[in-house]
Amino acid sequence: MHDTSPVSASQTRAPASQRSRTAEMLEAAKELGKDIAITIDDKHIEVPLGTTILEAARQLGIRIPTLCYHDDLCLAGVCRICVVEIEGQRTLQASCSYPITMPIKVTTHTPKVRRARRHILDLLLSSHYGECYTCPRNENCELQALAAEYGVDMFRFGKMQKPRYETDVSSHSLVRDMSKCILCRRCVRTCIDLQEVGVLEAFHRGNRTKIGTFEDKPLANVICINCGQCINRCPTAALRANDQTDEVWAAIDDPNKHVVIQTAPSPRAAIGECFGLEPGTAMTYELNTALRGCGFDKVFDTNFAADLTIIEEGTELLRRLKKVLVDKDDSVKLPQFTSCSPGWVKYIEHFYPEYLDHLSTAKSPQQMFGAMLKTYYPRHHGLKAKDIVTVALMPCSAKKFECNRPEMCDSGFKDIDYGLTTRELAKMIREAGVDLLAEEKSDFDDPFGTATGSGVIFGATGGVMEAAIRTVVELVTGQKIESLFDHAEVIPVRGFEGVRYAELPINEVGPVPELIAHLFDDWNWLKGATLKVGICHGTANAKRVMDDIIAGGTFSQCHFIEFMACPGGCLGGGGQPIPTSPEIRQARAKAIYAEDRSYDIRKSHENPAILKIYEQFLTDGPCGHISHELLHTAYTPRGKYIE
């Protein structure tokens, strides 16, 4: 960004539940100005007061096994796998929750420690039901890995012969199999502390302890938002996505079906992790070739629909601004909220239903694409909508719920038939005998193969806002966004802070572009105004923003706010490769931004394929009657545009 940029930005701190304990301790220790010298396995280090033994060991490169601990979550100290021996103390101590307050000498792998860990694993396995070979987490299960590491070669305390609990398959998004649960409580802390939804809790005590929902109701009957963050932190397969790969295979194998798949940018930046690559290794074009090897008839780019979303949602924002600022229409609500995160949409439906009028009516890119694939695509390519099977590769378990919402069928058919997570598609690629890492690169198929960098950055928190700013600023001011931000990169809305706020003064206005001339005569009513925007990721931060709006705070003055249900945005979605951590999500974001920079076209309104769609099909323009019927949720006529 130029030093003379007209944008100002402020950032607020994430709540304590979402900041790492290490950061908290380092901050406190800096204030005290005191470090403590300790020894771990004969290695010496000085650490701030309150640093845990586990954190100190990691700084020394010493591995201590964990199960209940997770970098994203608050401490629990319940599994005891991380126990260590401290000189002079009679009992072993849990290293994840032991704060260093004085000089100590620690050993991490004494015979006493090894026996204790082995004993704990034997006890966990005695109450863990299932056969590893048929488990979806086989070879990616932390319990399985630790059992191998500590030489578990038999069930010393017996083996559970039948499931202890009935598997909950009520949800379109998640499957809950508590017979595989090891009571680490990661899912509880994820749902309560990280997301602040509170669906899961530990009930009873002792050997009667169980992780469950309110009154043990099925997930489909409680306030689960389907975000899948609990899945990404579960060490076993007690929680998993509702896998529909068998149905997708059946469609591929049916000669009467034309099966198309759209791929979102976040899975493309992460799927390599499923094949042993480092986080942040983009596999966009190798994946296209692999998908054709799996049998998909066409491979399309979700970024195309992301560009379409920006045009529709950006136009909707401008219309709302005019109705509020010029027409003084009290029925129109600001700020406008983004609507492309289905977990966020479910969250606001449950917790803030009185604010639903603030949601953009625009469908998500996944659903917009589905509507186009069941209408425009068959009309122009000699196909019948009933024979087209639409599959979406998404980073998100909530997308499975979204494609099954009853309102998502404005074409007369389901917009999207099946949603696949990144993990599920990786499994399909292996099953097809395709070697993703050895595949040559190939491009997306037409007519939906042309996209822009703005579509790519949808995958990171702040990306939707940045894409919208790139387009709205140019449409209104007539100036190139590059004159305000180097390389069109709107840095103030980027980052992983939980909540962000930025202002953009509109000092000059230009002529109304032809694309939206049917809606606006001029922009004089915006000259001198300041566009105020907000960004947040994770529903705990969404709660902070919503409560601020209710209290009449800073975010109540915003015009547009981006909400993403998952930490980091889509790149941290509940369908992404396991494990996840702040570092992994940052690596994925780097891959996404690097791909954005590689595009010749960086702005949605300059996408020639999008302009062609409006010329040939959505002929009454953005937010017109046709687009409202197919691409928005607040319209009733259906089926008119199907061949």
Catalytic (active-site) positions: 313, 316, 340, 360, 399, 402, 407, 570
Task: Report in angstroms the alpha-carbon separations of 290 from 273, 283, 285, 296.
Answer: 16, 10, 9, 9
Write the DSSP assignment of 232-255 as a string of letters: HH-SSSSEEE---HHHHHHHHH-T
Q: How many residues does the chain have?
A: 643
Structural contact between residues 92 and 78, judged by C-beta atoms closer than 8 angstroms: no
Are the C-beta atoms of residues 542 and 344 closer than 8 Å to each other? yes
Alpha-carbon Rg for the chain, nearest whole angstrom, is 26
Residue 511 is classified by DSSP as: P
Token digits of residue 620: 């009454």
Closest to 493 measured CA to CA, from 553, 548, 540, 533: 533
Q: Residue 564: which of 469, 491, 460 has the closest Cα?
A: 460
Sign of the Cα torsion 51, 53, 54, 57 reads positive
Residue 447, preceding bond cis, omega within 30 degrees?
yes
Of 566, 555, 286, 574, nearest to 440 (Cα)?
A: 286
Q: What is the DSSP letter of 634?
A: S
Question: Measuring CA to CA, which residue among 131, 123, 157, 158 is closest to residue 236?
Answer: 131
Query: Is residue 440 packed enough to be buried (19+ CB in 10 Å), middle (13-18) or exposed (0-12)?
Result: exposed
- What lies within 8 Å, CB to CB, of 47 at 6+ separation is 35, 36, 38, 55, 56, 59, 100
| Nearest one of 383, 381, 397, 411 to 640, comparing CA atoms | 411
Of 177, 185, 76, 180, give the one whose Cα is nearest residue 124. 180
Pairing of strands 83-86, 93-94: antiparallel
Give residue 362's identity as a one-letter amino acid code: A
Q: Hey, what amino acid is at 421?
A: T
Between CA 498 and CA 288 the distance in angstroms is 33
In the three-class reduction of DSSP (H, G, I as helix; E, B as strand; rest coil), residue 639 is classed as: coil
The Cα 533–Cα 555 span in angstroms is 8
How distant, in Å, are the alpha carbons of 55, 379, 569, 579 from that of 584? 18, 42, 13, 8
Site of tokens 């003064």:
505
β-strands 8-12, 336-337: how paired? unpaired
C-alpha 314/C-alpha 319 separation (Å) is 9
Across the strands, what pairs with 560?
336, 533
Alpha helices in 49-132 (DSSP H): 53-59, 111-126
Phi-psi sector, 139: left (phi>0), alpha (psi -120 to 50), beta = left
